[in-house]
Structure 1
């Protein structure tokens, strides 16, 4: 197997996040100018959309005002509300762990696929192995480059990625996070349309990103890559399986695109702190940008 298997040792389960060294983080902090922060996460709740093969999020109130209306004790006048949320880990803005996708008999780094066949969750490469990082982010703004959102199933190849970086001379570097704005999220309100025929990166573009040693790749759609009937998910296999690059999906990028355009820049400080859900194949995340 080519790619990053064995690069950080036979037991590695963290993948390309290893590329974000202390030096990479120190360099990234120099990108902060105004100190303005932006969240790139979608609001997540029972009203959030979900593809047909996944259930939607649910909320259950464990304690609310109704309990007190029925006579619940209120020591010293103190009252409270609590709830429980149930959701697929691959919903809303989330990151795919390295246990999520593979081909053949092994997941990333040669760990057996049988490590995912358990009611205890993935025993290798689960979401808890996705360490938090602070690094340079690069926005590939295809909306700005194309003059509007990309059409359904539009391929995004390496040349498109190069053209979408507005800042002259910027190319992906080791440890970078690359975020790709296609306009798909901001132009689709209907769930059925959003979860079908999305534009996205091709296998060739995924290999170009991997060759530049990027640490994370994300996009404003639900699978990052181009959706074509019966095509499978080749970019997932290149990035997640072969190179150990986690994928950020359903990332809200419209506000970031506008903010960067106003400053004629493509780079920023990027903060990635996933919830360490033990054994999960993905986990919700709130990516944060500091401008």
Structure 2
């Protein structure tokens, strides 16, 4: 009996170790700031670009507009837009000193925006979430966070992304709208891939369609109990399939309430802090799904916002020829 108790205690200790969440140290070196995006090479980019089948392209981003979905519930500012110059206002104010005749001839419109960096289609940088006081690769705020942003892993470090992209259409595979707060499992992803006759490859950019982008123009519906990916599904993609980047069409990738009692964003911290994998949120995957384009060349670039924890991004997909 004593022997079995020892074995049980040992198993419990192992289980406790497995459940611990700790910041990952990069296999790409002590100065790494881009994590799994290091998987891209000139050869891998050329390989997928050489398979482009036509000039057809798909815009995977959403529009920015006043009233768009946002994280204002957490205290972050909503999207704001205002005009700084209008044709008639220029005539009245004469800001350029050119006079009424010139300003009536040459109309002038100018505008400005104010927004949270995690609005619309955007990528989360590796400094967005950390664990136990540190972010990816062990960087600490005491050493690397200044009043003007992070000195490490800021959005300005994110390279242009060119890779094989794969759409995993969970919404179509299920055949109906996903239930509120539904957590997409690894089995859901495997089932969808089987229906799409597609296999993942190391270094892929994987985009998860929940169908939530259909409601993007109505913020209240888009934000309402949206479905998302589960921790076990993400672990299967990262650890078993060795993908490079993840994206989805919902507000925050994962579903809420959180599936762990000790972490309110376990998918975020697993990807960003533990594995060094960035991800893209609030994508528009409807055009790809409508045309059943499941494999493509994925090309994306984000704004180089120095020190920022995220940045707007406009990804595109270019369909590719199937390999023989």
TM-score (norm 1): 0.90
Aligned to 2:126, which of 79, 86, 98? 98
1:195 to partner: Cα distance:
2.4
CA separation of 1:118 and 1:64: change in aligned 2, threshold 3 A:
same
1:156 aligns with 2:184: yes
Give the 3-state SS of the residue equivalent to 1:137 in structure 2. Answer: strand
Matches within 5 A, 1:237-256: 237-256=269-288
1:55 aligns with 2:77: yes
Contact between 2:206 and 2:246, CA under 8 Å: does it hold in 1? yes
Count residues with an aligned counterpart. Answer: 286
Contact between 1:124 and 1:279, CA under 8 Å: does it hold in 2? yes
Aligned equivalents of 1:36, 1:67: Cα separation in 2: 42
Aligned equivalents of 1:105, 1:275: Cα separation in 2: 27
CA separation of 1:113 and 1:230: change in aligned 2, threshold 3 A:
farther
CA separation of 1:236 and 1:71: change in aligned 2, threshold 3 A:
closer
Higher helix fraction: Structure 1 or Structure 2? 2
Aligned to 2:251, which of 210, 222, 243? 222
Deviates further, 237-246 or 69-78: 69-78
1:206 aligns with 2:226: no
Aligned equivalents of 2:216, 2:299: Cα separation in 1: 27
2:199 maps to 170
Question: Which runs of 5 or more structure 2 residues have no equivalent in the other structure?
Answer: 1-20, 320-324
Aligned equivalents of 2:235, 2:253: Cα separation in 1: 14
Contact between 1:131 and 1:273, CA under 8 Å: does it hold in 2? yes
Aligned equivalents of 1:193, 1:36: Cα separation in 2: 31
CA separation of 1:11 and 1:117: change in aligned 2, threshold 3 A:
closer
Aligned equivalents of 2:80, 2:69: Cα separation in 1: 12
Indicate the structure (1 or 2) with the bigger Cα radius of gyration: 2
RMSD: 2.1
1:27 maps to 47
1:174 to partner: Cα distance:
2.3
Runs (4+) of structure 1 moved beyond 3 Å? 1-4, 73-79, 113-118, 187-190
1:18 aligns with 2:38: yes
Question: Which runs of 5 or more structure 1 residues have no equivalent in the other structure?
Answer: none
1:38 aligns with 2:38: no
Aligned equivalents of 2:199, 2:258: Cα separation in 1: 34
1:257 maps to 289
TM-score (norm 2): 0.82
